Chains A and B, each alone.
Chain A
């Protein structure tokens, strides 16, 4: 993508507002003042680039990238999809990172004290770079649901956190992916921060039997859409700077 193109305005109706009382932590951490809208300059349309040489060969394989004495316990899954922009063009060559709990819902993090045990063979993070068609894939175990202090009996549905870079820093996105059919989805206080039902549904990965490996690993498919850039048919205000 030509970095001189500026991005279309972010449609904030697709995103959660800053303060969403159902998710209690947001009440003191969401700004009260309106955001100040900036037309893009170089500071927003450019962004860091990452090459495959920055990554290791097992970085997209969570089944093997922290295996010490064997493989992790849990439901083996492949997660794959495409990163597209708002004009449905593939976004190739961008860094996608992911992290998650283990099969029992326990995170490998010094601040997580949930009773379910750490899996000695599971780290829970990985990363990859999209190919020219915007495709990404990784292998992992399906994460378990996880209780957390919000309402007294709140449980997160099984989910994988995603961080995505585009060509410009203005496309920077962190989100979460859920699994089709999980009954906890409709009770989740964090997914509920997204006001639009169709938008929430876009965070749910579909079971993809066609991409599964028989007698080995199931697959889920999830596509990610980053902000599109404007078609500058009669002007390009960023050129000539």
Chain B
């Protein structure tokens, strides 16, 4: 089960590091000063969660890799994050919607993971679930205000829905790793979180006067290390310093 747990921790850690990096790109560029504090705040939560998960993953793996080795010294194909989180920020509407999709999913995931038979994962989840409540609220409030705002903000929100919907299917994918861990009571079965996620999104969209997207073809591959073309650029920027001067104390 160690191999599966390591793989799962890595996936969730990668989701959080990559999204945290994306959100941090907003620093100094958000629409208002208040938002410029809120977004990095969320980015810091995400990176904090990634750090706990990487550290624990390194312990489970037992090969002496710490959080920095896992974050900075793996290549694109070794990253197993969702394609959703590596999507470029786009405009504010797109960032907000990406955040809503992911944090609503993670809120359910952390809540269930807090009941994990694995004590360390349960402890990480118990801390993260509080942060995820805030992330959901922040993203939902903005989705509603933009969707039910001006003609232009509604148009941009609708464009974001169209752009990101094909990346939501991957959230609920299951495979041998998730099956084994959910059977052992270690980590939630992502598919079991789908109905709740859809309900929450539908409620927010209703209030935002946004149309729910119909069925659409879904992208997949992130969990297997098959990424979109944006991922390599993201890692090049993220890892530049460690690649240039590997193994330094900082």
Query: Do A and B assemble together?
Result: no
A contacts, CB < 8 Å to B: none
Chain B residues within CB distance 8 Å of chain A: none
